[in-house]
Amino acid sequence: MSLRACLVLALLAGLAGLSLRVAVPVTPVDQDYRDVVAFYRAMPAGAGH
């Protein structure tokens, strides 16, 4: 595949990702997710290994 074709495919993939990011709304974070994040923040560093 030529360099030009790769560049065109990369630009198309980037534009597709950008258009999806604009078109699809971000899902709000629910309370269960916040609880999990708070739990892991409370753990000392390196305790998850």
Task: Report yes or no on 21 lying in a domain.
Answer: yes
Task: Report yes or no on 49 lying in a domain.
Answer: no
Q: Which amino acid is at 1?
A: M
Q: What is the reported pLDDT for 42?
A: 92
Q: What is the reported pLDDT for 8?
A: 97
Measured at the CA of 19, the angle between CA 17 and CA 25, to 5 degrees, comes to 100
Task: Report yes or no on 23 lying in a domain.
Answer: yes
Task: Report yes or no on 33 lying in a domain.
Answer: yes
Task: Report yes or no on 31 lying in a domain.
Answer: yes
Q: What is the reported pLDDT for 48?
A: 59
pLDDT tens-digit map of 1-49:
799 999 999 999 999 999 999 999 888 889 999 999 999 999 887 765 6
In the chain, how many domains are there? 1
CA nearest to 23, candidates 15, 12, 13, 11: 15
Q: What is the reported pLDDT for 49?
A: 61
Task: Report yes or no on 48 lying in a domain.
Answer: no
Q: Which domain holds residue 16?
A: 3-42
Task: Report yes or no on 32 lying in a domain.
Answer: yes
Q: What is the reported pLDDT for 47?
A: 65
Task: Report yes or no on 10 lying in a domain.
Answer: yes
Residues 6+ away with beta carbon under 8 Å from 40 = 48
Q: How far apart are CA 30 and CA 37, in angstroms?
A: 11
Measured at the CA of 41, the angle between CA 40 and CA 42, to 5 degrees, comes to 90
